[in-house]
Amino acid sequence: MTSASPAPARPHLTGPPRTGRALTPRGINLALLALALGGFAIGTTEFVAMGLLPELAADLLPAVYESSPEDATAQAGMLISAYALGVVVGAPTIAALSARFPRKKLLLVLLVAFTLGTVASALLPSFTLVLLARFVAGLPHGAYFGIAALVAAELMGPGKRGRGIAIVLSGLTIANVIGVPAITFLGQNSGWRVAYLVVALLFALTFVAVWLVVPMQAGDPGATMRRELKAFSRIQVWLTLAIGAVGFGGFFAVYTYVAPVLTEVTGLDASLVPVVLVFAGLGMTIGNFVGGRVSDWRVIPGLFIFFGFLMFALLGLALTAHTVVGLFVFVFLVGAASSGLSPVIQTRLMEVAEDSQTLAAAVNHASLNLGNSLGAYLGGVVIAAGYGYLSPTWVGLALCVPAVILVVLSVIVAARGRTQSHRRADLGLQKDAVLDGTLS
């Protein structure tokens, strides 16, 4: 008799090359740069509102702003939450429905949707309509990053998927160094509507770049909506999504209100808001690449490392934001710690989702933007309650605690799963031994 069947092998996170032709290193680099340009445009459209909250509040909520700038600014934070909720809704829906579609064509369709949604955000006249436009503009966010991450991972090849994901995400982090400060400066001087029209132009340029240099890749021919949605039947998928949502809620509670912290807590001029955003973006860029390397090393230790780092940075910011040095140093460190988590969580999701790769790659951004919405909302609540502009930092620190607990729980669940798998294997071997003895 044969021994018990071995446990099924872990699925490959990147399938065989499906580009139809071999790419040169230069071709791969150009394709990755085009995908990262999309991340740059997305990062700009997502985060620029954080630097322009006072301008958005004054223009779209003039009556509220005249009576209470704090209340108007907190209410304007709903624009950030609306975009984030669009990501939460769009990521799993689009990913599940489109897993079989050719990846390049899907990316192009998503970029058209981004362009139109951002133009609508710039042109619509009222707060309610702009709020709706920001929700619509967020719908393709998770699907774009998910598909782009799969394309990049396939281009990079086995053993480098974390670095491939980090390259795509680098566009988002570099946006916080260049795009967000530049567009914030433009918005402060020419109006926030002009700023959003420039962001729409970035999406149009990305469409051209992807069309020209990203190779054709087939979708997953065996994918079905039912198979993709099967990911949600796995407890580890839910745990990983919760880790991202709660943990990133801590970052966004701070980042959403960094402009009023600079002006009201540190006492600096509003013209320096783009500068502090540059510091945050530099931290995010460095943290992202470090996170990519760490995720190719070991995922779970990486989660503990970056959450510990984030808690230290948030505490430092809460205690020293009234000083110029403290504000700039710890905003940099908060950005680095939070951005380091992103590729680690992305890789973890792709590990635990098994054959639901498209959905797993996309819903990571849904969970992170759920954290965006959660953090922006809770930060607005404590500000509106009169606790001051620095109170969201303490909210962020508090949110890190359940995130770490969820990582521990994920480790426990994984250990129990391995123990049960070993027991089943041992039982199978024992049965085979008995049968072998009987037959002999």
Tell me what the pLDDT averaged over the chain comes to: 80
SS3 sequence, 124-156? CCCHHHHHHHHHHHHCCHHHHHHHHHHHHHHHH
What's the rounded mean pLDDT across residues 160-186? 79
What's the rounded mean pLDDT across residues 369-386? 82
What pLDDT does 317 receive?
93
231 pLDDT more than 50: yes
What pLDDT does 320 receive?
93
What pLDDT does 438 receive?
56
Per residue in 407-434, pLDDT (tens digit) is 899 889 888 766 665 555 555 555 555 5
Higher pLDDT, 238 or 158: 238
Question: Are 236 and 413 within 8 A, CB to CB?
Answer: yes
Angle value at C-alpha 25, between 22 and 29, nearest 5 degrees? 110
In order of their start, the domains of the chain are 25-434 (1.20.1250.20)
pLDDT band per the 50, 70, 90 thresholds, residue 15: very low
Secondary structure class of 387 (helix, strand, coil): coil
Per residue in 24-47, pLDDT (tens digit) is 777 788 888 899 999 899 988 887
Higher pLDDT, 300 or 217: 300
What pLDDT does 330 receive?
93
The DSSP code sequence of 236-261 is HHHHHHHHHHHHHHHHHHHHTTHHHI
325 pLDDT more than 50: yes
Secondary structure class of 400 (helix, strand, coil): helix
13 pLDDT more than 50: no
E-assigned strand segments in 346-404: none
What pLDDT does 14 receive?
40
Question: Are 61 and 72 within 8 A, CB to CB?
Answer: yes
Per residue in 311-324, pLDDT (tens digit) is 999 999 999 989 99
What pLDDT does 7 receive?
39
Per residue in 105-164, pLDDT (tens digit) is 889 999 999 999 999 999 988 888 999 999 999 899 888 888 888 788 777 766 666 677
Percent of the chain with pLDDT over 90: 19
Higher pLDDT, 405 or 436: 405
Question: Are 291 and 302 within 8 A, CB to CB?
Answer: yes
pLDDT band per the 50, 70, 90 thresholds, residue 8: very low
